[in-house]
A and B are shown apart, each in its own frame.
Chain A
Amino acid sequence: MTERTRAEAAGTERKGGGMIALIGLVIGVGLGLALHPDVPLWLQPYLPIAIVAALDAMFGGVRARLEGIFDEKVFVVSFLSNTVIAALIVFLGDELGVGSQLSTGVVVVLGIRIFSNAAGIRRKLFGA
């Protein structure tokens, strides 16, 4: 095996693995639909924000994978810390009396990030 082919093999191997994530997503939705648990009251204001933060982290992960710079550890840590921080910000806002404004702000920021990640994914996949 030449140097070149080895590098290529490593490159393709570095990608991949998204299937597990996709399957996980489907399983999660299925579980949620099948079990339909109640959201606990204390979590209700923070769950939507945490979900948006998690979506942002997932898009970021997909983009990083497409760009070949994905690292599981970074993904897991940023996923967890982003969701927790997003929920914390809203919690803090609620305590300060600016909860609705602050959650709007968080959603706006995360929305912008999701869009820029989606743009990166699009560039990688379609070259446009």
Chain B
Amino acid sequence: MTLDGVRDDDEPREEAERPAGPAAVPPAPLTGVMALLRPRASWGQLIGGLLCVLVGFAVAVQVRSTKRDTTFATARQDELVGILADLGQRSERLRGDIRDLERTKAELQRDAQGGAALEEARKRATTYGILAGTLPAEGPGIRMVVQDPRGGVHAGGLLDALEELRDAGAEVVQVNEVRAGVGTYFLDARDGVQADGRTLRAPYTFLAIGDPHTMTTALNIPGGVVRTLQAAGATVSITPRAKVTVSAIRSP
């Protein structure tokens, strides 16, 4: 050992940027590097070299394994559990779909007269008719009455209410005598609001079929439809009902 008792662990010294005084003038860069690289064999050196082999090996292996699969290798346990749960739910849902479709297929194959096919087609026609607004419908939902004594409610407010109801999962909506469909529009007119060519007058009554709780919550959120309408001078009352009957229909 040529070390003259100078020992320090190689922890970095915490002092920051000390001024390079004249005493600390280093040798020229090249000679410094050359001196550093000059081989000097001793057990300590060999062990140090061995550790360097280990580091190089580990780096190469790690880089390789990181390159191989980046998606899940870096994810931690809880993230992986989340992903797994999502996948489980999805596959469960898809399995349910498969079961439904298998059952339909079996029924279709079983009856020769096409009774099941007819039944299926009727069911689908009814569903589409209700969604398109060509059939009357009834079910659980809400009744929302917008009283507008000051005439502050315009077409925009009614459209917002309709969109909010649709967002909240309303399947069928009727505004006064107008059944809302995909092409329903609201237009400001001189004596009220026009919807699909018919004039609506206050109070505006919305009948919506869907989950009453969800729709009520959606309408009542702070800054939402109800607050906006109230700011325009209207009073809004929402009543959930177990059975809402929507009788107005759209001509196909």
A: which residues have CB within 8 A of B? 10, 12-33, 36-39, 44, 47-48, 50-51, 54-55, 57-58, 60-66, 68-76, 78-80, 94, 99-100, 113, 116-117, 119-120, 123-128
B134 to chain A, nearest CB (A): 55
Interface string of B17-61 (1 = CB under 8 A from A): 100100011100100110111111111111111111111111111
A20–B51 Cα distance when bound, in Å, is: 11
From B6, B48, B66, contact of A76 by CB (8 A): B48
Q: B residues within 8 A CB of A57?
A: 10
Q: B residues within 8 A CB of A120?
A: 12-13
Q: B residues within 8 A CB of A58?
A: 52, 55
Q: A residues within 8 A CB of B49?
A: 20-21, 23-24
From A37, A51, A61, contact of B10 by CB (8 A): A61
A72 to chain B, nearest CB (A): 2
Which residue of A is nearest B40, CB measured? A17
Determine whether the beta carbon of B60 is less than 8 Å from that of A60.
no
Which residue of A is nearest B60, CB measured? A32
Q: B residues within 8 A CB of A71?
A: 3, 6-8, 44
From A17, A51, A61, A123, contact of B62 by CB (8 A): A51
A68–B31 Cα distance when bound, in Å, is: 14
Determine whether the beta carbon of B10 is less than 8 Å from that of A125.
no
Q: B residues within 8 A CB of A126?
A: 26, 29
Interchain residue pairs with CB less than 8 A apart (27)? A12-B35, A14-B3, A17-B41, A20-B39, A21-B45, A21-B52, A23-B49, A24-B51, A25-B55, A25-B56, A31-B57, A32-B64, A33-B60, A39-B61, A39-B62, A48-B66, A51-B55, A60-B10, A60-B11, A64-B10, A74-B7, A78-B10, A80-B51, A113-B11, A117-B12, A125-B26, A127-B20
Interface secondary structure of A, over-half rule: helix
B83 on the A face (CB < 8 A): no
Q: B residues within 8 A CB of A17?
A: 38-42, 45, 48
Listed residue (A15, A48, A65) with the most chain B CB atoms within 10 angstroms of its CB? A15
Determine whether the beta carbon of A68 is less than 8 Å from that of B6.
yes
Which residue of B is nearest A64, CB measured? B10
B191 on the A face (CB < 8 A): no
Interface secondary structure of B, over-half rule: helix
Listed residue (B7, B20, B33, B36) with the most chain A CB atoms within 10 angstroms of its CB? B36
Q: A residues within 8 A CB of B62?
A: 39, 47-48, 51
Given contacts A25-B55, A31-B60, A76-B47, contact A16 B39 (CB under 8 A): yes
Which residue of A is nearest B26, CB measured? A127
Determine whether the beta carbon of B10 is less than 8 Å from that of A75.
yes
A50–B20 Cα distance when bound, in Å, is: 34
A sample of 17 more A-B contacts (CB under 8 A), given A12-B38, A69-B6, is A12-B35, A13-B2, A21-B45, A21-B52, A24-B51, A24-B52, A24-B53, A25-B53, A29-B59, A31-B60, A33-B60, A44-B73, A51-B58, A63-B10, A63-B12, A120-B12, A127-B26
From B33, B45, B77, contact of A20 by CB (8 A): B45
A17–B24 Cα distance when bound, in Å, is: 23
B62 to chain A, nearest CB (A): 5
A101 to chain B, nearest CB (A): 10
Determine whether the beta carbon of A72 is less than 8 Å from that of B47.
yes
B150 on the A face (CB < 8 A): no
Q: A residues within 8 A CB of B53?
A: 24-25, 27-28, 31
